[in-house]
Structure 1
């Protein structure tokens, strides 16, 4: 195999860890690889919440362009950052075995939970779920890569900040004081890594089949289908987690108002043998409960 697979990645420490993981796995299969890091728009513009930027795939667009221009052969993404509709000509070639899908609360002590406090997050989903549980708290925006956000949290007078567990675990940044938020429904595909390539790149598609984890592919596929059916291209506080335990598939999905006061939830336990259409069906249940009207409200609020 003389062909070198050029791997595109964002240039943050976490993104590079993910790209190196893919590179190492491909090299074990006998493929030669090189990394080509780039800086994404979402890493450059840090003074606005993500939903205000109004760009679909803000962390993936730069790599999509490089892929379509054939400057790279494959791109490695945190799967939760990838839009539910890939660019024309780009395909999901592998989903790696999922890491920890949960959110964690990094804090300076938990005394504030039952009184007023300030919690930092740049995520509408985390903000809405936190306010649903702790309506007295103030949410402040927190942007940047994992390292930047942790450093900012340490220097600010905030009580806590919310992070994806997998990100901190992967680059060994878990602090001494944190709590796993088992009650918070994660972002669809949180903790999973997706590798994409051009649809007609049969060499890379074949190479990447060895990296694919079938259970993770099934679960994240259901979560992303749930998201796609609900959102209709709109950013909203949506969480989804599917897990296969034995012969059963367990699913929880939520849609909340921006202030966390309204919540629509679906919980399911079904046979995991034929998961096709589950995500769409369960999202439609939420839309029929009143989620459709809520999505319209959210769109109007974000457009102001």
Structure 2
């Protein structure tokens, strides 16, 4: 093994540390020693406001990225869905790990929990999930649920919500599968860009040979192709995680990319989506084409309405 360990910047939550330890184990297997550097982001510190109110762009990544710039760490480990659509020019995503199951799930301590029951209270911090719940489960109520998974589970156990709506990946990685009451279908509850994958970020100035070894140890090519398409969609939408957009790319048996992307209004009443297939080599062009269609067929009006409701105009 090399004598100088690769320093991995990560959020300090249990889920983030699990993800980083998983990255570290893969690097170690490739003969690259590691050191984990936990830190707190603004998204971890400010829990009394929704993500849209604190400015969702980079709230879970900025501090980690600054450590890369200061050469305090070599890699920043993120949930891919938390990475902003456009990176600063001095940083890059060197790898995407193989994707976990992408679905949203409903978890509850109530074994007979029924999501169709009128008046239930569902906790979520996601603008997309709230909008989709209003569309597909209009009898349910939603409430803001910030904090890491353990904090949200404590609030759930205290009875602040009847259930939580979360990504399957985090629930599964933390060993809470027994609490899953509903797996929401990904063709209706289309996930946000990147859900289920771990993204690895580095400085563009990181040693090129080391970068190649890191990529060889960590990157899952099929997942990478899918996320190139999804991230191009999000970048073209110019939305980030503060708008209720969604996109899921999958590989067909022929090796082409199939992308389902769209946008929903905050009320859940207006919904625009589009699907398109293209060769995997055209991943970014596919993402841009699907976004352009969505924007041109009602998406621009939905975005304008969202900005107006938030006082951004």
Which TM-score applies when normalising by structure 2? 0.92
1:4, 1:33 within 8 Å by CA — same for their partners in 2? yes
SS of the equivalent of 1:99 reads: coil
The answer to whether the 8 Å contact 2:97/2:197 transfers is yes
Matched, 1:224 2:231: yes
C-alpha separation in 2, matches of 1:19 and 1:157: 30
1:191 to 181, 193, 196: 196
- Judged with a 3 Å threshold, the aligned counterparts in structure 2 of structure 1 residues 196 and 157 are, in CA distance, closer, same or farther, namely closer
In structure 2, the CA distance between the partners of 1:150 and 1:44, relative to structure 1 (3 Å rule), is same
Q: Distance in 2 between matches of 1:13 and 1:145?
A: 8
Distance of 2:246 and 2:115 partners within structure 1? 25
Once residues 288 and 138 of structure 1 are traced to their aligned partners in structure 2, the CA distance between those partners, rounded to angstroms, is 31
* Shift >4 Å, 4+ stretches: none
Name the counterpart of 1:96: 97
Aligned pairs for 1:133-172 within 5 A: 133-172=136-175
Q: CA deviation at 1:296?
A: 1.1
* Gap runs ≥5 in structure 1: none
| 123, 129, 133: which one aligns with 1:130 | 133
CA distance in 1, matches of 2:240, 2:311: 13
CA distance in 2, matches of 1:31, 1:282: 39
String of CA shifts for 1:17-72, please: whole Å, max 9, x gaps.
Answer: 11111111111111111111101111111111111111411000010111111111
- Pairwise CA RMSD: 1.7
What corresponds to 1:19 in structure 2? Answer: 20
Residues 49, 112 of structure 1: CA spacing in aligned structure 2 closer, same or farther, 3 A cutoff?
same
TM-score between both structures, scaled by the size of structure 1: 0.95
Kept after mapping to 2: 8 A contact 1:234/1:299: no
1: distance between equivalents of 2:74 and 2:283?
31
Count of aligned pairs between the two proteins: 304
Q: For 2:201 and 2:29, locate their aligned partners in 1 and report how far apart those are by CA, in whole Å.
A: 19
Q: Which residue pairs with 1:298 in the alignment?
A: 306
Instruction: Identify the residue that residue 7 of structure 1 maps to in structure 2.
Output: 8
Of the three residues 229, 248, 251, the one matched with 1:244 is 251
Contact 1:76 1:194 in 2 (8 A): yes
Aligned residues of 1:94 and 1:194 also touching (Cα < 8 A): yes
- CA gap of 1:111–1:233, structure 2 versus 1, over 3 A, is closer
CA distance in 2, matches of 1:147, 1:245: 37
Given the superposition, is the C-alpha separation of residues 89 and 169 from structure 1 closer, same or farther in structure 2, using an over 3 Å criterion? same
